[in-house]
A = this chain, B = another copy of it.
Amino acid sequence: MGSPKPRRTSSLVEDELVEFIRGLVENGIEAFGLRDDAALVEVSGAGQLVVSVDSVVAGVHVDLAVCSPGDVGWKALMGALSDLAAMGAAPLGALIALCVPGGAGDGKMALGVMQGVAEAAEVSGCPVVGGDVSSSPELFVAVTVLGTVAHTEGDEDGAGARSDRARGPVPRSGAAAGDAVLVTGPCGASAAGLRELRAGAHEGAAGLAYRRPVARLREGALARRCGAHAMIDVSDGFALDLHRLADASGVGFRLDEVPVAADATLDEALGGGEDYELLVAVGKGELSAFLERFDAEGLRIPLQVGTFLADSEVRLLGDQELERLGWQHRLG
């Protein structure tokens, strides 16, 4: 309970575990708790820091029957990084609050989670700069990410880079009537993967999409530099997240199609979530240049799936109203 009974520390405790974690993931982790009371992040140039926090709770956000602790760590960091991707920001660092059930055997679960965090950190180029570990009745991971739009990879290459650099973070609220609705890839693979894992298929590409999703950091940064008007990541579901972007922008939309990932159903594509593809609003006049830049930089070319409309009441997939399918926490 935080305090009142002082006690001698004899078995593996917090300080020792933190030392373990530091040794385990030295490449990915520059600092993890205890070394000082707080960690330091270098910020080059004054300006706006882009920050976000995301939580993963076992039994709520992840199913430990089909995910390893390492998968949980990976998913937690990638989920937070996807919020930076959706702003077009590049990661500067992450802080991990890790709470693990006691009695799990020498902090094995904590080490497993942090191994997955470190792997995702390496793939994303996002150092883990700080963290905190404690005991808890449930596995709980909260990841805070810090990012910047001041200097992102690729700013210096290609034509028009100088003017690109001045572009700020991309909000949800910038979509205008007539803008194209783009998505960086098909959706539903994560939900399909979870379904397959639960059916007993513990390997394969589909399960991988659920256990090891990848934040679209390069795509988001390029979309920002190319003048995207609005952006959101598909974290809770294509339909719900598109509605949120439209709500924030005060516009409607008509979708011609929804790209469905291999093995996924339309419902999984619309409401599954955790795909981390980006939904992007791009001005019609800028569209072809936008798509060409993705091609030129070797990224998958976004798909145009519809158009934003002035009437914010109109939210259509073909001729049908698009329901707000997706994951939301029911708290009431």
Interface residue count on the A side (C-beta < 8 Å) = 111
Check B54 against A146 for contact (C-beta < 8 Å): no
Q: A8-B324, A136-B140 known; A37 and B172 CB under 8 Å? A: yes
Which residues does chain B contribute within 8 Å of A323, judged by CB atoms? 8
A149–chain B nearest beta-carbon distance, Å: 10
A99 proximal to B (CB < 8 A):
yes
Taking the nearest CB of chain B, how far is it from the CB of A51, in angstroms? 5
Which of chain A's residues 15-44 have a Cβ closer than 8 Å to chain B? 15, 17, 34-44
A245 to chain B, nearest CB (A): 10
Are B6 and A267 in touch, CB under 8 angstroms? yes
Task: Determine if A136 and B138 form an interchain contact, defined as CB atoms under 8 angstroms apart.
Answer: yes
A186 to nearest B CB, angstroms?
A: 15
**A278 and chain B: residue at smallest CB distance:** B37
CA distance A323 to B10 in the complex (A): 12
Q: Are the C-beta atoms of B40 and A169 separated by less than 8 Å?
A: yes
Q: Are A328 and B1 in contact (CB under 8 A)?
A: no
Choice from B39, B43, B104, B134 contacting A52 with Cβ under 8 Å: B39
Are B134's CB and A15's CB within 8 A? no
21 CB < 8 A contacts A-B: A1-B61, A3-B274, A6-B268, A8-B325, A12-B331, A14-B329, A35-B172, A37-B86, A37-B233, A38-B51, A43-B43, A43-B48, A52-B132, A53-B144, A54-B132, A55-B99, A55-B134, A60-B134, A102-B331, A110-B331, A135-B330
A contact residues vs B (CB 8 Å cutoff):
1-9, 11-15, 17, 34-55, 57, 59-63, 82-84, 86-87, 89, 93, 95-100, 102, 104-107, 110, 129-138, 140, 142, 144-147, 169, 171-173, 190-191, 194-195, 210, 231-233, 237, 239, 244, 248, 267-268, 270-274, 323-332
